[in-house]
Structure 1
């Protein structure tokens, strides 16, 4: 009788211990899956933002050239409207970064990359436009450098 009681108690202890360890392993697996999904979403979001800012910078350069080479022309107007569309796309990508990013510094750098690109069309001459374009590239590079550790 004592042996049967010991066997039943041992079996029950084994079941409880197995349940506890399996529960912890399941929680750990779920946590790793959530972390990986968030990492993948951040990679996609940050990449989309960088691409949108590059396209926006290119459209701002095009807008500036068209406005200075052919002021008031249809081509200059089309370029201006195209830059508005790119600005909208870049702003939407910025909103996604702001929603996904939990680091205030990285969010500020994303906002700076957008704002630096936004001001490019206000340049008064080609040297200033080149300077603003370079500043926009550098601002985006700073964002990417800050965002990279969060997606590794």
Structure 2
């Protein structure tokens, strides 16, 4: 009789230990899956932001050139309107970055890159436009450098 009781207790203990270990394994697998989904979402958001900002920078350069070469023309107006559309896309991408990024430095650089790009069309001459364009490119590169370790 004692042997049967010991066997039942051993079986129950084994079942409890198995249950606890399986629970821990399941929790770890869930956490890993969640972390991987977040990493993939960050990669997607950061890439979309970089692409949108590159396009916006191009649009801002185009807007500046059209305004200088042929002010008041349909081409200049189309370029200005296109820059607004590109700004909207870049701003939407920035919001997405703000939702998934938990690195304060990377967030500040993302906002700075958007702001610098947003002011490019205000350049007073070619040298100023060139400097602003380069600063926008450099600030975006700094954002990418700051954000990259969080997705590796």
TM-score in same-fold range (> 0.5): yes
What aligned pairs does 1:4-83 form with structure 2 within 5 A after superposition? 4-83=4-83
CA–CA separation in structure 1 for the residues paired with 2:142 and 2:105:
10
Residue correspondences, number: 152
- What is aligned with 1:119? 119
What aligned pairs does 1:101-116 form with structure 2 within 5 A after superposition? 101-116=101-116
Deviations 1:99-122 (A, max 9, x none): 111111111100000000011101
Structure 1 runs (4+) deviating above 6 angstroms are none
CA–CA separation in structure 2 for the residues paired with 1:26 and 1:47:
32
Q: TM-score, normalised by structure 2?
A: 0.99
Deviation at 1:38, TM superposition (A): 0.1
Unaligned runs of 5+ in 2: none
Q: TM-score, normalised by structure 1?
A: 0.99
Deviation at 1:5, TM superposition (A): 0.8
- What is aligned with 1:135? 135
CA–CA separation in structure 2 for the residues paired with 1:116 and 1:92:
16
Give RMSD over aligned pairs.
0.5
